[in-house]
């Protein structure tokens, strides 16, 4: 079902308000490294390809990718997270400074390793590059107690000037249920701010969250069920997550099947994917989705309006290679190209 022109105008108005919004991001800051090579020959040492090195790039990933996407959408973003005293950490700081993103909440821990995900891609000359392997460098332990305390203090300070808190929890210790609960209990404006959560492994450990944006496999893991193409089971799962976490809003992303938005006032809304289902690269798409969803909620959008804009953003970013972002201008063009739609059940 295609939306009425007035609803399109409403989404347009929300996007135009993004620059008036400030969002604090408490997250695990990841460095996404891409190493590109051209296939040269097969090694004599082992049955593997030898690649001639062509290029290396390091871009923000994980919570840092959510920060990057918010900045591209025109939102005033305040990142809080830990990095190591290493090259990937310095490159993340350089990227933030280049985009004029404040970095006083990005804390360096000498005993911590900046999470780095290295993807090695190869291809023939003029051909598309394919990912061969990914190597993850992870810290052996979470940030120190001192740094964790400083993360809490930095986030609490930022929240006084914010319209929402985005929590990006990849399990590396910068965005934990304990820190989030402490922020909620702290006095001041933070207690009433929208809190939007993306947690990879411990979705149900958070309480007092306003909204969450898990993907379908994360919901299946949390509830220990298999959803498949069963709409009734999907809606039951969404209602269970809403009830257990006491959420106001929930968006479950489903890859090429789009996403489903839940709230207490209306029946679940099934939103088909924007654009082609023949995606180019899904790397970091979840970070883009929560960034657009959080920006729209903070700008006054409803659950469905925020989900529609997040769906546009997700559909755009998966057509780009590598860890990518979506701009406010791209969202506006997508809205003009195709009005938002829903599927009935």
Does residue 232 fall inside a structural domain? yes
Contact 174, 29 (CB under 8 A): yes
Contacts with 169 (C-beta within 8 Å, 6 or more apart), sequence order: 27, 28, 175, 176, 197, 198, 199, 200, 201, 202
Tens-digit pLDDT string for the chain (345 aa): 665 678 889 999 999 999 999 999 999 999 999 999 998 899 999 998 899 999 999 999 999 999 999 999 999 999 999 999 999 999 999 999 999 999 999 999 999 999 999 999 998 766 778 899 999 999 999 999 999 999 999 999 999 999 999 999 999 999 999 999 999 888 554 557 899 999 999 999 998 899 999 999 999 999 999 999 999 999 999 999 999 999 999 999 998 899 999 998 889 999 999 977 666 777 888 999 999 999 999 999 999 999 999 999 999 998 888 788 999 999 999 998 888 889 998
Number of domains the chain is built from:
1
Contacts with 345 (C-beta within 8 Å, 6 or more apart), sequence order: 231, 270
Does residue 90 fall inside a structural domain? yes
- Residue 122 and residue 131: Cα distance in Å, rounded? 6
Annotation marks residue 287 as catalytic: yes
Asked whether the whole model's pTM tops 0.75, one would answer yes
DSSP string, 223-276: HT---TT-HHHHHHHHHHHHHHHT-SEEEEE-GGG-EEEEESSS--EEEPPSS-
Does residue 39 fall inside a structural domain? no
The angle subtended at Cα 271 by Cα 265 and Cα 273, nearest 5°, is 160
Q: Which H helix or E strand runs over 195?
A: strand 195-199
The tokens for 149 are: 């305390």
CATH number at residue 218: 3.40.1190.20
| Closest residue by Cα to residue 249 from 257, 192, 241 | 241
Does residue 126 fall inside a structural domain? no
What number of other Cβ atoms are within 10 A of residue 217's Cβ?
12
Which ranges constitute the DSSP H helices of 19-144? 63-72, 87-98
Pairing status of strand 29-42 against strand 49-62: antiparallel
Does residue 83 fall inside a structural domain? yes
DSSP secondary structure code for residue 341 in this structure: B
Write out pLDDT tens, residues 203-239.
Answer: 999 988 999 999 999 999 999 999 999 999 999 999 9
Name the residue range of residue 106's domain: 5-30+60-114+140-337
The tokens for 57 are: 């790039």
pLDDT of residue 147: 96
Does residue 234 fall inside a structural domain? yes
Contact 203, 188 (CB under 8 A): no
- Distance from the Cα of residue 216 to its chain's centroid: 15
Does residue 88 fall inside a structural domain? yes
pLDDT of residue 104: 97
Catalytic residue (one of 32, 109, 163, 287): 287
- Residue 1 and residue 342: Cα distance in Å, rounded? 5
Does residue 37 fall inside a structural domain? no
Write out pLDDT tens, residues 121-152.
Answer: 998 766 778 899 999 999 999 999 999 999 99
Contact 228, 271 (CB under 8 A): no
- Residue 129 and residue 123: Cα distance in Å, rounded? 4
Q: Which H helix or E strand runs over 30?
A: strand 29-42
The tokens for 19 are: 């620059």
């Amino acid at each position: 079902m295609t939306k009425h022109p007035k609803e399109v105008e409403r989404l347009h108005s929300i996007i135009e308000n993004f620059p008036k919004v400030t969002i604090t991001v408490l997250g695990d800051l990841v460095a996404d490294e891409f190493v590109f090579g051209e296939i040269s020959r097969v090694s004599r040492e082992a049955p593997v390809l030898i690649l001639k090195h062509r290029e290396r790039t390091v871009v923000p990933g994980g919570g840092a990718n959510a920060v990057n996407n918010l900045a591209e959408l025109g939102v005033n973003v305040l990142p809080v997270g830990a990095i190591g005293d290493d090259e990937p950490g310095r490159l993340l700081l350089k990227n933030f400074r280049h985009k004029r993103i404040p970095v006083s909440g990005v804390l360096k821990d000498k005993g911590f390793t900046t999470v780095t995900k290295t993807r090695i891609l190869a291809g023939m000359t003029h051909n598309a590059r394919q990912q061969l392997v990914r190597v993850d460098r992870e810290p052996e332990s979470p940030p120190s107690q001192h740094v964790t305390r400083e993360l809490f203090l930095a986030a609490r300070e930022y929240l006084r000037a914010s319209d929402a808190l985005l929590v990006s929890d990849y399990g590396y210790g910068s965005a934990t249920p304990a820190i989030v609960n402490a922020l909620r209990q702290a006095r001041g404006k933070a207690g009433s701010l929208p809190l939007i959560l993306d947690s990879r492994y411990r979705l149900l450990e958070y309480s007092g969250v306003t909204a969450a944006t898990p993907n379908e496999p994360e919901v299946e893991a949390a509830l220990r069920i298999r959803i498949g193409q069963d709409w009734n089971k999907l809606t039951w799962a969404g209602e269970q997550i809403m009830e257990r976490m006491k959420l106001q809003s929930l968006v479950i992303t489903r890859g090429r099947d789009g996403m489903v938005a839940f709230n207490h006032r209306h029946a679940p809304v099934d939103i088909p994917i924007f654009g082609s289902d023949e995606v180019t690269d899904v790397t970091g798409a979840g970070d883009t989705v929560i960034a657009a969803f959080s920006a729209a909620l903070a700008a006054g959008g409803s659950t469905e309006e925020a989900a529609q804009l997040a769906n546009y953003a997700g559909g755009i970013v998966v057509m780009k290679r590598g860890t990518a972002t979506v701009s406010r201008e791209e969202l506006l063009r997508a809205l003009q190209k195709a009005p938002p739609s829903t599927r009935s059940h």
